[in-house]
Structure 1
């Protein structure tokens, strides 16, 4: 939907944007209004304040809401189902145990982090952390020392994947808002996440966080399991397995099988991207076979294929199809709120663009002489610090800068760099208004001060590392 002709000047539009963001933060932080409701309300009020006609405001808002959901909900839903199957069949435990054996005892934190990176590809931060809690405490008790030596690398890995790599909602929405390639975001984001995690999380843990002594206290573990069970994040559905069946703990999948399932969508997506690149370079022509290969490599199709494979090689091991159906159904409940909030964030960003506010902001930032990638990072950082939600910071920032991105006519690789920069800003400075902050604090028995000096600093080093990598790529890629 093309932006309307602005009713007001750039200064007035920017003032409206500033007030809109401030009102949004007050509603979410001070008045404790649900982010989904707050985003819808502020979107409508912003549109009215910016001069969108009464007769058009609802149509414009719902149009942007629907377009965002159309791109996000499918990927997030399929990703959550894949993560659920890997979780209940013992895939996380297999990853951790195998990697610790191969890395050696002295590199147990590194092994846990790598396992969390792999498992974090399809699963969300909070669900992944809950699943890994017993593994983290088991390894910590086995080798001793501060629990943070093992907890921070694993939790930081989930945070990195959640911020950077589709099918997580933040990067999916950001790439969609900026008219970028989700497949290319996956292919570039995956190695960036690994490098940023190693530098910003693992090395930081070895140098500092792991030396902060926090006793191993798993008294919260039972509560975590109960909470996860209530939200469909643990192996509760296995209680419904047929008599004589076996669960994931009794017959876990092999390491190679789990790794293969995790890598399958990225192989398919890489195939699609490679064919598209070679066609643009006129190395490959048209053909039914190439079209079919490109089709299976489109991100939704690749995830669907992966889900079908995981369902029948993992889910049906000792379970009936009815039980597997229940497991997949359980995976969708916890992500509904995230999907709806993401859609509402896309609505807010769309209204900002349609009213001309996005263009006014981009022009103002250009006048300051800041590169677009720096502006993206700073805006996302401001929103992250102010309201805590990385997803809201990602979606709102993408909407704010999308007009400038469209005007700049950037390559797909440049747009991926912008997505990474936004993700970096949405990662730094996690503090008391971030639910992830409290999850980590509660699960690992840290007070607020200790959490601030370890988790908050780690999130900042991770985000800054992501941004530096994005900045380097920005000046290197065409």
Structure 2
């Protein structure tokens, strides 16, 4: 019954948004409440005889809405401001021109995917989308290359590294739960992530671009055109200077992430860890961006910051509602039922690792949750299966990449920041991620044939 309710809830959500054009924020909250009711969750929080509490539907929605905004709210607002400074100074235009000069229009997606692949290791996915979105929109306007393909390329690449490449949290959790050597896991996971990015981000993105061009699909760049008119005739920031605005928060986050590997506990490490916090790093990036872009701006810094703060409101509402819907799915026990059901099927170990993680990814809307739970579930079975635990761990991670649906806050971040419609988000990101995940599964299945020969797999 739980699985049926889950399928119906996803179907109703898609119907509300695609068919009835209901605002995604409202649709997510309505479907979240209806799902809670259908699964028998209490309307109000109850205290049991043993003193424990069962949270009511309203409380679960409120808590998860708040926790989602708490994790991304500040960095989202700052990221939009950072992008506006880069754009209004003319710097993004010059970065785009440099990329086109080096690679040409038809190969610009390679640079986009590689940038996401590298940046996704130290930087949380939503932050990458926020920072790169203005540049990619300008690039799409210049080249005519599909905006859906660009959005898919960078989001697939970023998620491949987030799900597979140490020292991000999900693969660390998988390695710990499955008791595998991270030193042996790292190179195989890195290569697998690259293969997934290549097929799901670049090759599949090229396919989307061909279809969109054949169909004559266009995107709304009117906001960019108006800003370009205002900038006409004025001096603009160089591409390298604009790139430095992007690099400041990235470098700070990198230092914060990796300094503990090289430094002992002390003042220096504490300071670097503080500066590497994503919120602090983005704040410093915005302050730096405001300072160096000032001579090139046609409007005041205060006006640009205020406009950025206003623009982020609807994005945060939708993202928070996505977190609320995902919270209901977890609280009502749907993810547990789905997992136990899948364990009853007899299938090859690598495939089972992938499928369980993929279904939990769909059900919870969270890569981290899907990978952490799946690795805990399959750890014992993997140990006695005869299949390399390292390859099984990669299969688990691959299952957490694709089929992002509207209960995933990242789905709405990509949808809103890249200014693409619901269909483009599904085609470019949801399906692109699935292609990447399946590609990685096939890749590790091939590696498993040689696991007795390849070093470290057995």
Counterpart of 1:22 in structure 2 is 11
Counterpart of 1:374 in structure 2 is 355
Q: How much has 1:272 moved relative to structure 2? A: 1.6
- The whole-number CA distance in structure 2 between the counterparts of 1:205 and 1:355 is 36
Q: Structure 1 residues 89, 192: closer, same or farther in 2, change over 3 A?
A: farther
TM-score (norm 2): 0.65
Counterpart of 2:143 in structure 1 is 136
Counterpart of 1:396 in structure 2 is 365
- The whole-number CA distance in structure 1 between the counterparts of 2:287 and 2:333 is 43
Q: How much has 1:289 moved relative to structure 2? A: 1.7
Q: Is the 1:160–1:462 contact (alpha carbons within 8 Å) kept by the matching residues of 2?
A: no
Q: Structure 1 residues 19, 199: closer, same or farther in 2, change over 3 A?
A: closer
Task: Return the match for 1:296 from 264, 275, 279.
Answer: 275
Counterpart of 2:266 in structure 1 is 287
Task: Return the match for 2:295 from 317, 320, 331.
Answer: 317
Task: Check if 1:258 corresponds to 2:242.
Answer: yes
Q: Is the 2:100–2:108 contact (alpha carbons within 8 Å) kept by the matching residues of 1?
A: yes
Q: How much has 1:121 moved relative to structure 2? A: 3.8
Alignment coverage as a number of residue pairs: 384
Task: Check if 1:109 corresponds to 2:106.
Answer: yes
- The whole-number CA distance in structure 2 between the counterparts of 1:422 and 1:63 is 24
Q: How much has 1:66 moved relative to structure 2? A: 0.6
Q: How much has 1:267 moved relative to structure 2? A: 1.9
TM-score (norm 1): 0.62
Q: Structure 1 residues 324, 402: closer, same or farther in 2, change over 3 A?
A: same
Task: Return the match for 1:464 from 405, 426, 435.
Answer: 435
Q: How much has 1:264 moved relative to structure 2? A: 2.5
Counterpart of 2:90 in structure 1 is 90
Which string of whole-angstrom CA distances, capped at 9 and with x for unpartnered residues, describes residues 39-74 of structure 1? Answer: 212222222332322222212220111111111222
Structure 1 counterpart SS, 2:300: helix
Q: Is the 1:156–1:459 contact (alpha carbons within 8 Å) kept by the matching residues of 2?
A: no
Task: Return the match for 1:365 from 339, 342, 346.
Answer: 342
What residue ranges of structure 2 are gaps of 5+ in the alignment?
Answer: 46-55, 117-126, 160-167, 175-186, 380-391, 406-413, 449-455
Structure 2 counterpart SS, 1:54: coil
What residue ranges of structure 1 are gaps of 5+ in the alignment?
Answer: 1-11, 138-150, 167-174, 182-187, 240-246, 384-392, 428-433, 442-447
Matches within 5 A, 1:1-400: 12-56=1-45, 57=56, 58-103=58-103, 107-111=104-108, 114=111, 121-123=128-130, 130-136=137-143, 151-152=145-146, 155-163=148-156, 165=158, 198-200=198-200, 202=202, 224-226=220-222, 229=223, 236=227, 247=231, 250-276=234-260, 278=261, 284-314=263-293, 316-319=294-297, 323-368=300-345, 369=347, 370-377=351-358, 396=365
Q: Is the 2:402–2:435 contact (alpha carbons within 8 Å) kept by the matching residues of 1?
A: yes
Q: Is the 2:113–2:157 contact (alpha carbons within 8 Å) kept by the matching residues of 1?
A: no
Q: How much has 1:214 moved relative to structure 2? A: 5.4
Structure 2 counterpart SS, 1:251: coil
Q: Structure 1 residues 371, 275: closer, same or farther in 2, change over 3 A?
A: farther
Task: Check if 1:426 corresponds to 2:404.
Answer: yes
Counterpart of 1:171 in structure 2 is none
- The whole-number CA distance in structure 1 between the counterparts of 2:112 and 2:371 is 35
* Range with greater deviation from structure 2 (369-378 or 291-300): 369-378
Root-mean-square deviation over aligned CA pairs: 5.1
Q: Is the 1:39–1:348 contact (alpha carbons within 8 Å) kept by the matching residues of 2?
A: yes
Which string of whole-angstrom CA distances, capped at 9 and with x for unpartnered residues, describes residues 230-259 of structure 1? Answer: xxx5654995xxxxxxx4863222232223
